[in-house]
Amino acid sequence: MMEALGVFASQVEASSTFEVRGDRCRITGRALAGVAGFLQQHILPETIAAGNPTAERQVRWVIDTSMSLTATLTVHAETATDDGEEVAKPCPVVLPEPPGAGV
């Protein structure tokens, strides 16, 4: 999963629009779900307790985006295969605008 997160992070750093390889959709989705769970259990409570609304919005955006992408990647892995092939086609990913991006 760490490898999947590393590849995903490299793609995010390069562009907000990219593709996840079809054979990596499930593992990438599970990795993103783990990130969301960790943030929700450990980091979000700290940002709320610190009274930092900007940090809270950013952490919530990462949680929501990670869970949305988990669903997208999982569904894609289950439904998108080439004609007669066992390997799923790449899954397009478009990240939503992060909070405060226009500021």
pLDDT digits (tens, 9 = 90+) for 7-44: 999 999 999 999 999 999 999 999 999 999 999 999 99
CB 33 within 8 A of CB 66: yes
Q: How confident is the model at residue 45 (pLDDT cuts 50, 70, 90)?
A: very high
d(CA 18, CA 65): 15
d(CA 28, CA 77): 11
Instruction: Give pTM, 2 decimals.
Output: 0.87
Please, which residues bridge with residue 91 across strands? 20
pLDDT of residue 96: 94
Range list of β-strands (E), the chain: 17-20, 91-94
Residue entry with tokens 């793609």? 11
Chain Cα centroid distance, residue 58: 14
